[in-house]
Amino acid sequence: VDATPECWVLVEAPRGRILRQSLEALGAARALLPPAPPSLTVVWAGEPADRAQREQLRALGVARLHGLPGPGAAPSSRWEDVCLAGLRTLYRNRRPAWLVAGDTPFSRALAPRLAVLEGAGYVPRVSYVRRVGNGLQLTRPLVQGRLAEIVRLAGDCPGVVCVASGAFPLPRPAARAGAEPPSWEPAPAPDPAPVPACGELLHRSETPAHALDIEDAGVVVAGGKGMGSRENFALLEELAVLLGGCVAASRIAVDLGWAGRDRLVGQTGRKISPELYVACGISGAPQHRAGLRDPRYLLAINTDPEAPIFRTATWAVVGDALELLPAWIRQLKGAGA
């Protein structure tokens, strides 16, 4: 590995929000590089990153941002091939020491093809990285975790790595983040050499937002004991669908059977970092807040003006959630509040 290796990360943002798996890839990229890593380069797949997303990347230590052609650039059945052609052109110009990608269908489709076409070493499902001397050893589990193998790339062979889902922490803000968000650099026109098509995508089904895992949802509408009953949780479901998000709950609400255990946010539940967290009838105990990892916006509705949840809320609404939620839902449906 070069003394100052370049590290690229393939980041996907299919619904305008960076996927958790891509954030894990950014976290893994830190582990791949020396303690004071050179700045990261992101190759972005999705609609062009907006200012807020570029700011998010800046805070995570990303200095360069290359955009692959957006989903509208080709019929969906051809989009991966078009992205691969763009990625290949970019990659060929600089041959980064590492290209890291998350555990997603898109990355799993692109990464091995890029590695074969460009003569890089491909290591899938990496769960652990260890620095030994100047080199790196990558561990990946096999046979559902019953076996593991440790891989080292030969000499200065560049690596294309997919990281196992959940194996690496989400990245914290970088100590050496740049002052300005990285500018958007669209991928250059692909080289004329066509990318061999290895298959045709016939159909892709997508989980509706309200059925998403709460760790993957951009909008999370959560309820606590203050919602009063299981029936009232239907209001949260309705709002979540209208906002394109899903429902979560506090420990008491889960213990009362108002929501499933997979919806629990907190110390003993899931750790989430949505764009918007709507907390309804949740006091904001430390054990609950332990599950909130820097949500971008937190809107709290609570009858108690002293509720601890208000201390970290972006917007504090003192009021009865059982009155406010139906009014909000009516407004979103266009009927007026």
Ligand X SMILES: Cc1cc2nc3c(=O)[nH]c(=O)nc-3n(C[C@H](O)[C@H](O)[C@H](O)COP(=O)(O)OP(=O)(O)OC[C@H]3O[C@@H](n4cnc5c(N)ncnc54)[C@H](O)[C@@H]3O)c2cc1C
Among 242, 322, 329, 332, binds ligand X (CB under 6 A): 322
Number of residues in contact with ligand X under rule CB under 6 A: 27
Would you say 38 or 308 has its CB closer to ligand X? 308
State in angstroms the smallest separation of the CB of 71 from ligand X. Answer: 37
57 touches ligand X (CB under 6 A): no
Stretch that binds ligand X, among 96-104, 155-163, 192-200, 287-295 (CB under 6 A): 287-295
Would you say 113 or 288 has its CB closer to ligand X? 288
State in angstroms the smallest separation of the CB of 276 from ligand X. Answer: 18
Contact assessment for residue 12 and residue 23, using Cβ atoms and an 8 Å cutoff: no
Among 86, 224, 245, 295, binds ligand X (CB under 6 A): 224
State in angstroms the smallest separation of the CB of 290 from ligand X. Answer: 7
Q: Which residues 6+ apart lie within 8 Å of 11 measured at CB? A: 18, 19, 22, 25, 26, 42, 43, 44, 45, 57
Helix/strand/coil for 1: coil
Quick one: which of 198, 220, 326 has its CA closest to 266?
A: 220
Would you say 168 or 233 has its CB closer to ligand X? 233
Distance in angstroms (rounded) separating the CA atoms of residues 73 and 54: 21
State in angstroms the smallest separation of the CB of 231 from ligand X. Answer: 13
Site string for ligand X, 290-319 (x = CB under 6 A): -x---------xxxx--x------------
State in angstroms the smallest separation of the CB of 250 from ligand X. Answer: 3
Contact assessment for residue 79 and residue 14, using Cβ atoms and an 8 Å cutoff: no
Site string for ligand X, 137-176 (x = CB under 6 A): ----------------------------------------
Site string for ligand X, 243-262 (x = CB under 6 A): -------xxxx---------
Distance in angstroms (rounded) separating the CA atoms of residues 166 and 103: 9
Distance in angstroms (rounded) separating the CA atoms of residues 273 and 4: 32
DSSP string across 151-186: E---TT--EEEEEPTTSSPPPPPPTT--SSPPPEEE
Would you say 77 or 232 has its CB closer to ligand X? 232
Query: How many other CB atoms are there within 10 angstroms of residue 75's CB atom?
Result: 10
State in angstroms the smallest separation of the CB of 225 from ligand X. Answer: 4
Among 39, 77, 127, 267, binds ligand X (CB under 6 A): 267
Contact assessment for residue 171 and residue 18, using Cβ atoms and an 8 Å cutoff: no
Helix/strand/coil for 39: coil
User: Which residues contact ligand X (rule: CB under 6 A)?
Assistant: 224-226, 250-253, 264, 266-269, 281-283, 285, 287-288, 291, 301-304, 307, 320-322
